[in-house]
């Protein structure tokens, strides 16, 4: 019996910022069997696809096509006939100069089911990130989007330059850099003043976004001088004058900063997302990895303790992994109260359907010890569930106050050997450390912090960095990813002033 063909999803990846990916696009990316992606689909967006997904680059880089268009269409048909679901991922929107309609026609002709997942077009998003509104009641009440690179097989241009040269409309040109001088001359020849403002925006919505502003008379020379090249869009019209008044993205303190994130992969995602949202470019290369130490015996120990103290989200995962190993679930916790340190640990407990009895927001062992002592009673037995190489401060603080403390290893952190770490450190502007083990992993991988801004989540990591001979520039007072980003913003804002 012949396989039922799989569905092909023609998906717009948006202009580059993964935060602009639509919910539907993220959903089909997570579920697809095969991903065929273009050059303008960023690595962070490609990463939405599952590890089991077969990923193939079919875009164009350096003017060279990885695969001709006809071959891409044939490949989609062949794979779909094998019953696999395919995401054909394109930059921007698949129906805005993305050849999505051509691919849909081929699929329809072959009887392959398909779905169009629109994306945010760079024709609107890139100007917005450059502080340019494509319409404005006082300047340009309408806008036109056109290609600056027509099909080279056509006998001549079909663009109506007389209509495009309308001073009352914003003109947005995609793929125009190769013909920019000719385009500017055509617009002037058909009536636009040579003094009409023009902006060219390279890598719009990305941390390496660059914007130059000139006029029709000067923009080509300015772009050549500044090295502005594809991918870039061109905006022509009076709305360009608004840029200096309402630009917001490329003036943020962290804009364009390359920030090395050394946390384990699971914890890295939150910090990376927060950095990206502020215009920084996160470089995620974990210096350590977390290995849970599962032990089903923990299920029996809970009943004899008044409290279980969980020191991280990793400890929460290890606890429930150990309970599962023993064939138990959250009910094994019984009357044992749960204490957590830091908001991420509390959130991990809540994600399991439980509410911590004590949640210590300040993530230091000393603060946690004080909070546990205040919440508990004399004679309480406390089960301390933490990393194997954790400091003794929490245990010692509780024991000194007369509490009976049982320490159990929930997990261990190991140096993750990564040849890429040293190279990533050299490429970064900022290095971040969230723990002493991350500092150790960085050093053991032979990476060098010289000349970089170094930021730590809290004083414990900062002391470890200092002991390793690494000068620390920023220490977050709020020991969270959000606190670290805020501290970095304040540091760079102060450096500018």
Active site residues: 38, 60
Two structure tokens written together for 323:
């309970």
**Residue 479 half-sphere exposure toward CB, CA atoms < 13 A:** 20
DSSP tag of 14? B
Q: Are 55 and 79 in contact (CB under 8 A)?
A: no
Strand 288-292: give its sheet, edge to edge.
Answer: 288-292, 404-415, 381-387, 307-310, 337-341, 358-360
**For residue 127, what are the CA distances in angstroms to 22, 66, 114, 134, 214?**
19, 29, 31, 7, 15
CA distance 231 to 228: 9
For the stretch 469-473, contacts whose Cβ atoms lie closer than 8 Å and that sit 24 or more positions apart, written own/partner, are: 470/439, 470/443
> Closest Cα partner for 35 from 24, 22, 48, 23?
48
Give the ranges where 279-412 is alpha helix by DSSP (H): 298-301, 313-325, 343-351, 365-375, 393-400
CA distance 165 to 74: 40
- For residue 471, the SS3 value is coil
Give the ranges where 15-93 is alpha helix by DSSP (H): 23-31, 43-46, 69-81
């Amino acid at each position: 019996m012949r396989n039922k063909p799989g569905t092909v999803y023609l998906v717009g990846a948006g202009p580059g910022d993964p935060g602009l990916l639509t919910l539907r696009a993220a959903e089909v990316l997570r579920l697809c069997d095969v991903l065929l992606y273009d050059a303008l689909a960023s690595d962070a967006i490609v990463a939405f696809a599952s590890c089991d997904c077969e990923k193939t680059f079919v875009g164009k880089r350096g003017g060279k096509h990885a695969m001709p268009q006809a071959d891409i269409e044939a490949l989609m048909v062949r794979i779909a006939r094998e019953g696999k679901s395919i995401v054909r991922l394109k930059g921007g929107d698949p129906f805005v100069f993305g050849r999505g309609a051509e691919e849909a026609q081929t699929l329809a002709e072959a009887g392959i089911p398909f779905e169009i997942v629109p994306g945010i077009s760079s024709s609107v998003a890139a100007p917005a990130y450059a502080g340019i509104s494509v319409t404005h009641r006082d300047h340009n009440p309408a806008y036109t989007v056109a290609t600056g690179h027509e099909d080279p097989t056509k006998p001549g241009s079909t663009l109506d330059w007389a209509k495009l040269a309308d001073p009352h409309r914003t003109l947005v040109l995609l793929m125009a850099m190769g013909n920019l001088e000719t385009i500017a001359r055509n617009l002037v020849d058909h009536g636009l003043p040579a003094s009409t403002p023009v902006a060219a925006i390279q890598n719009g919505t990305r941390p390496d976004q660059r914007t130059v502003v000139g006029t029709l008379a000067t923009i080509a020379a300015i772009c050549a001088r500044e090295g502005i090249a594809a991918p870039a869009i061109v905006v022509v019209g009076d709305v360009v004058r608004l840029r200096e008044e309402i630009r917001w993205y490329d003036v943020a303190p962290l804009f364009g900063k390359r920030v090395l994130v050394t946390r384990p992969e699971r914890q890295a995602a939150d910090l990376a997302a927060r950095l990206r949202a502020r215009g920084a470019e996160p470089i995620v290369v974990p210096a350590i990895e977390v290995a849970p130490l599962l032990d089903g015996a923990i299920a029996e120990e809970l009943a004899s303790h008044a409290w279980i103290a969980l020191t991280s989200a990793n400890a929460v995962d290890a606890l429930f992994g150990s309970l599962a190993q023993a064939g138990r679930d959250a009910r094994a916790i019984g009357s044992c109260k749960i204490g957590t340190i830091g908001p991420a640990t509390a959130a991990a407990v809540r994600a399991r359907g439980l509410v911590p009895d004590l949640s210590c927001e300040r993530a230091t062992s000393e603060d946690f010890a004080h909070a546990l002592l205040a919440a508990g009673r004399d004679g309480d037995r406390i089960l301390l569930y933490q990393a194997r190489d954790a400091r003794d401060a929490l245990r010692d603080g509780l024991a000194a106050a007369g509490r009976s403390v049982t320490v159990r290893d929930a997990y261990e952190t190991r140096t993750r050997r990564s040849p890429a770490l040293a190279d990533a450190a050299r490429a970064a502007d900022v290095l971040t450390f969230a723990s002493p083990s991350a500092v150790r992993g960085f050093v053991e991988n032979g990476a060098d912090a010289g000349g970089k801004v170094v930021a730590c989540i809290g004083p414990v990591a900062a002391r470890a960095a200092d002991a390793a001979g690494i000068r620390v520039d920023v220490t977050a007072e709020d020991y969270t990813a959000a606190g670290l980003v805020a501290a970095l913003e304040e540091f760079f804002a102060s450096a500018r002033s």
